Chain A
Amino acid sequence: MSLQILVLTVLDGIAYGSLVFLVAVGLTLVFGVMRILNVAHGSFYALGAYAAASLGLVLSAYGISAWFAYPLFIVAAVAVGVSVGGLMERFILRRIYVREEYLQLLVTFAIFMILDNVQRLVWGVQPYFYTEPLSLMGNVTIVGIPYTAYQVIFLPLVALFILFGLRWFLRKTLAGSLIVAVTEDREAATAIGINARKVFFLTFIIGTTLASLGGALASPTTSVLPGMGAEMIVLSFAVAATAGLGQIGGAAIAALLIGLGRSSAVFFMPELEVVVPYLIMVIVLLFRPEGLFGKTTARKI
């Protein structure tokens, strides 16, 4: 095994883990607060990617510098997360909070299927490529290996920013404290007059925005095509479950673990690439059913 392959494995794992973290952290936040496992979370990843790629292609059609693509990615992610996520919470989820969890699971799965078809309807089935933001940042050479700065520096920085930003938000701001209060004890929170509906709404659009941000940032690194949402929801669920559902810091470590596991498989046992993330999840859950960082409490799913 050469050193270069090892370095490449680590870099691939970091790049991939950063993206998975962005999506998984939204999933785990929504579950931690609202106790709903949102299968449609993957759709927001896909919608974010499509929206970002479309806007990017418009930019290049008009010959506008791709530097504008970065802020535009954020705009696209927020627009998708807040509008589609907001509508979904307001008109669908709000009606099923008190229902059984299997029903909640079925409803979010149905929304996932609907949104998947909406994507095909709007964008068709041909893949979209918009890679300019990737090449624009150039390459860095790490231990003799050239790698795109976008994937190995920019994406991990965004992931770290989101991780610490989210922790700061939940611990230090008013709205964040209200979210934590509702998570810990919804009844007591309601008893002191906290509007749990508002808290749920805010939490959900933060979660969906994070998923679509993951998609938007992933779009330059991959071809945007149908099915990308399905792949991502399964993977981010594996990350969230490995970490322990609701664990934000844990999701970062689990994402890195699964990213590294996947890239190791790619280089050393390619035929296992697809199963490695789930293998890691299964092994962790066999020994720690509450996840690596989860607390031992009764869980719904």
Chain B
Amino acid sequence: MTALISAKDLAISFGGVIAAEGVSLDVFEDDHLAIIGPNGAGKTTFLNICTGYLKPSAGSVTFQGRSILGSSPRAITRMGIARAFQIPQLFTEQTVLENMLIAAASQARRFAPFTPLMQIPERKEAEHILELVGCDDVSDRPASELPEGKRKLVDIALALALKPKVLLMDEPTSGVASSEKFDIMDTLIGALREQQVTSVFVEHDMEMVSRYANRVAVWNAGHIQSQGTPEDVLQDPEVVRTVIGV
């Protein structure tokens, strides 16, 4: 199996806190990899390194065999690693569809000053993605007026408009009512499958992990404590004790 993202011997610390030390982690094609672990263990740091927002003090990260360390977040996005944030980052003054078109246009490197935004050729595809995530009903509404669940999905749709190969997500359903969680995640994973996008998501909810991940990595105190299928990892007594905390 070929690794899409391959991190080797990563090390990074903030002040005295070690977020990663000798961490090696591979993300394979068609993975839906969940990263779990206690707060402050370095999970989000890993996402930040893979997207170019942080540089590790040691180690390497390659994407499809090419090193991405030292590349700007924008260059990495262009290579095919997109990111959805814990707090959805939408342009609040514009409508949902306009948000999508802005993302699609920058992906296509379109910059014609006087082209009406609503008439760019990427519109069809943008609308298709909105349909996939079930947000075509809110496409004309300003992003600031969306309920939290829809915001999350639109944020994912924005990331998908960038045509990524891998999507990194930080707690995709945090802040969403628990009754909505599974619906949102079903839609999201369905959209990822349709677009053949590999995903990595940081998650605290073990039910979500066992339901949607095909692989799990346990990040604890700057190390990968364990990794494997959800069935194996979530049964591991050591993981249960340190992470799940039962």
Contacts and interface: CB of A to CB of B under 8 A. Distances in A.
Contact of A195 (B89, B103, B111): B111
A231 interface: no
Nearest to A188: B89
Contacts of B159: 192
A185 B114 contact: no
Interface in B141-180: 158-159, 161-162
B89 A191 contact: yes
Contact of B91 (A172, A185, A193, A202): A185
Given A177-B102, A180-B91, A184-B92, A193 B112 contact: no
A193 B162 contact: yes
Contact of B77 (A173, A175, A176, A192): A192
A195 B93 contact: no
Interface string B60-83: 000000000000111001100011
A195 B105 contact: no
Contacts of B72: 190
B77 A174 contact: no
Contacts of B90: 188
Interface string A254-277: 000000000000000000000000
Interface string B93-112: 11000100111011101111
A125 B133 CA distance: 66
A127 B205 CA distance: 75
A88 interface: no
Given A178-B105, A184-B92, A185-B91, A191 B77 contact: yes
Contact of B116 (A173, A190, A191, A195): A173
B148 to A, nearest CB: 17
Contacts of A172: 116-118
Contact of B102 (A169, A181, A198, A202): A181
A45 to B, nearest CB: 23
B73 A173 contact: no
Contacts of A187: 89
B126 to A, nearest CB: 12
Contacts of B105: 174, 177-178
A176 B94 CA distance: 11
A192 B158 CA distance: 8
B2 interface: no
Given A172-B117, A173-B114, A180 B93 contact: yes
Interface residues of A, number: 23
B235 interface: no
Interface range for B: 35 or more
Nearest to B92: A184
Q: Which of B92, B103, B110 has the largest number of chain A CB atoms within 10 A?
A: B103
A172 B158 CA distance: 19
A189 B78 CA distance: 13
A172 B112 CA distance: 13
Contacts of A169: 113-114
Nearest to B105: A174
Contact of A184 (B73, B78, B93, B120): B93
B94 A191 contact: no
Given A177-B102, A180-B91, A180-B93, A193 B77 contact: yes
Contacts of A184: 91-93
Contacts of B73: 190-191
Given A185-B89, A193-B77, A194-B106, A173 B94 contact: no
Nearest to A198: B111
Q: Which of B83, B113, B116 has the largest number of chain A CB atoms within 10 A?
A: B113
A184 B142 CA distance: 14
B111 A192 contact: no
A177 B77 contact: no
Contact of B106 (A180, A185, A192): A192
B102 A178 contact: yes
Nearest to B84: A191
A202 B114 CA distance: 12
B94 A177 contact: yes
A195 B83 CA distance: 17
Interface of B: 51, 72-74, 77-78, 82-83, 85, 89-94, 98, 101-103, 105-107, 109-118, 120, 158-159, 161-162
6 contacts: A173-B117, A178-B105, A184-B93, A188-B89, A192-B162, A193-B78
